[in-house]
Amino acid sequence: MRHLALFFVFIALCLPLSAQTQSGKASYYAKNLSGRRTASGEKLHRDSFTCAHRSYPFGTMLRVTNVLNGKQVIVRVNDRGPFRKGRIIDLSWGAAKAIGMIAQGIASVTVERIDEINIPFKPDNLTFPKLELDVADIEEDDSVTVAKWRR
């Protein structure tokens, strides 16, 4: 039985990370943990959209979907955990609020890695027009210019 479990762990680690989708339970950080250092070294902020995951590298972007209501949030991995059996991800308080799991405390979620993020309202082909600037020719009498500076 133990060999079978090790085999499944080996298979999960050998799959490309972009092909993995996980389903399980999610929890979230309490508000009073804000300001503490995460495993990546940055400070935890309750309103940030960050998470703790056991295996994804720091900086990996994940889409977390609440199975109960279908709400989604995109979070960045900046910590390790969760260390409780049966949980696959710990969300920051802000991310948990965004998917509507604050009242529940623990929610069933699906987690999938995002390789490319589309920024809303940003055109794919961003080009700027070429500006042609000319200097205007103005002829002034030197006495007028000196008079302005004497005031």
Q: Name the more confident of 76 and 118.
A: 76
In a domain, 129, yes or no: no
- The number of domains in the chain is 1
Q: How far apart are CA 106 and CA 122, in angstroms?
A: 35
What is the SS3 assignment for 46?
coil
Inside any domain, residue 61: yes
As a whole number of angstroms, the distance between CA 52 and CA 48 comes to 12
pLDDT tens per residue across span 11-45: 444 444 444 799 999 999 888 888 899 999 999 99
User: Tell me, what amino acid is at 124?
Assistant: D
- Per residue in 59-89, pLDDT (tens digit) is 999 999 999 999 999 999 999 999 889 899 9
Token couple for 53: 């995951």
More confident residue, 3 or 22: 22
Question: Looking at this protein, which amino acid is placed at residue 151?
Answer: R
| Per-residue model confidence (pLDDT) at position 130 | 85
Domain membership of residue 133 (yes or no) is no
